[in-house]
A and B are shown apart, each in its own frame.
Chain A
Amino acid sequence: MAGIVLGNTLRSAWKQILYWGFGMGLLGVYIVFIGSDADIVQGYASLFESMPPAMLQAFGASSLELFSSTEGWFVSIFVSEVIIFLSIFAVMAGLNITANDENSGNLDVLLSLPISRATFLMERWIAYALLGLGILLFTAALTLGAMALFSPAADTGVVLLSMLNLYPGTLLVMTVTCLLAAVLRRRAVAIALAAAFVVASFLFNLIGAAASGAIADLMQQLSYFSHAGGEDIVLGTHDPAGAGALLIIVAIGFLVSVKMFDSRDIGL
């Protein structure tokens, strides 16, 4: 029966939208509230102005120009934090697709039902992709609501686009984790490697942005952080090719996951 696993997963996990969305949304409301005070934003700008570029990158801001607008300030502070939280969610979601059920033994019952492994993985993947989108939209709804209240002049469209641009990166981390679990079977190894992927991407972006030269540029391009942020959108220099590339990698990773999961022994 098509869609049963999808529906069941959404029914059992929809509260994650509230938990994650509410948590990140509250952080957004708090930052919006702070940002409504022009003196505070100016203070941040002055502080960052005195920092070397590498330090500035460490705080998630690639350009001082961002601090000239409320939305720029918000995106540089908030989005750079939310991407970390979403990466954590994505690792957990990737593990929930197959690894956790395999580790606990539930997969034996699930895969003895009339459902193919490919369908099972696909429906689980779609369910968690939808949950990730739900979390993002819930977070956006809270923060944009607060923005309308505290900073009515801010360009909420730019903020919304910046937040939605986090989605391809979230899908990428989820798919990489799913792929690792599909290949490796051992959940602990999959967790370790998925975490290493996130940390390495973060460092690649950080080092790539702080340093100069071809290698530094390449490092930054290899990091999903550099394609998933919203600062380029605020500055009007956004190239959607980066997000497109992430989505292509996601599609390839998903297909490889299905193939690997379908061809190996389960539950050993």
Chain B
Amino acid sequence: MVPNAIIETRGLSKIYGSGAQSTTALDSLNLQVNQGEIFGYLGPNGAGKTTTIRLLLDLIRPSAGAATIFGDDIRAKSVDIHRRIGFLPGELSLWEGRSGKQIINFVANVRGDADGILKQAEKIAERLELDTTKRVRDLSSGNKRKLGLVLALMHDPELLILDEPTNGLDPLVQQTFHEMMNEYRQRGKTVFLSSHVLSEVQAICDRVGILRDGDLKAVESVEGLTQVEFHHIEVSYREAVPPELRERLAGMPQVSDVAVHGRRLDLRLVGDFDPLLRELGAGYVELLRIEEPTLEDIFLAFYSDKEKV
């Protein structure tokens, strides 16, 4: 075992069902998450992210392989491991009739050192602007998510396992969350978070694992991933698309997929905007629309580039 590995999986697999109706949700996952890093676990819906997290938490049992957290087997030492981790499920469900405070009190009591944990919970709730006196049924989905974050963070765990943590959070709270994660990392703690939002992963993660159809395709640094970052661009001109522009753009190495639809020009740009903007200025631009690539786009681009290499 590598000394600073906090999470380590070896051939971890999960097959749901049996016989002809079986589905491989996770196929021989070999993954290592090191101490002090924020590891983003990326993949489209159904890729196996939540299955991995549920396996790590011993909520479901592997069909093959094994995993350790803090060097301990996830099954044999699950209670000890759970003492040292904080978890936020993707679909957070809490007791609807109870207030946030009641749930926080219960979880703090189960974790022990309730006084210290409760003080910490209060601080986090204040920072996230969460009213813990309200019943869960009266909380918006965003506020439920905040409560989930309080529950995951309040005992200052060594490892955070977060499944789509910012789902339903407004941008301001997302920003606060990113700050909290950065502070968390600075204190040498580890975060394993799943997401399908690339910008979030880019904002806070050190490394990412890309998962597709239960198969870990790559583990990359965020820098490595952003090297293939591109944008879809749509330019609408007041009049016709300037003559010869299409040819000039096709000659630019960072531009591809150029298509003209009447007065509209579509293209894909990799890298800086400046050279492109200079060319686009050949005509009167009425509208410039820039679309972030989807994770699937990045994923496909990442692999087509790899194949080219």
Contact = CB atoms under 8 A, between A and B. Distances in A.
Interface residues of B, number: 28
Given A12-B98, A111-B57, A1 B93 contact: no
B89 A105 contact: yes
Given A265-B59, A265-B61, A115 B93 contact: no
B216 to A, nearest CB: 21
Interface in B127-175: 151
Interface string B72-116: 000000111011010101011111001000000011011110000
Given A265-B60, A266-B60, A1 B112 contact: yes
A236 B89 CA distance: 58
B16 interface: yes
B94 A113 contact: no
Contacts of B107: 109, 113
A264 B59 CA distance: 9
Contacts of B109: 1, 4, 8
A112 interface: yes
B79 A266 contact: no
A106 interface: yes
Most buried by B among A12, A109, A116, A265: A109
Given A4-B106, A113-B111, A108 B94 contact: no
A114 B82 contact: yes
Nearest to A110: B110
A267 interface: yes
A268 B54 CA distance: 11
A8 B93 CA distance: 18
B59 A267 contact: yes
B111 A109 contact: no
B59 A8 contact: no
A113 B85 CA distance: 9
Nearest to B106: A8
Most buried by B among A4, A112, A264: A112
Contacts of A113: 82, 107, 110-111
Nearest to B114: A1
Given A12-B98, A265-B60, A114 B83 contact: yes
Top 6 closest A-B pairs, CB basis? A105-B93, A114-B83, A265-B60, A112-B87, A114-B82, A266-B59
Interface of B: 16, 54, 57-61, 78-80, 82-83, 85, 87, 89, 91-95, 98, 106-107, 109-112, 151
19 contacts: A1-B112, A4-B106, A4-B109, A8-B106, A104-B93, A108-B54, A108-B57, A108-B89, A109-B93, A112-B57, A113-B82, A114-B79, A114-B82, A115-B79, A116-B78, A263-B61, A265-B60, A266-B60, A267-B59
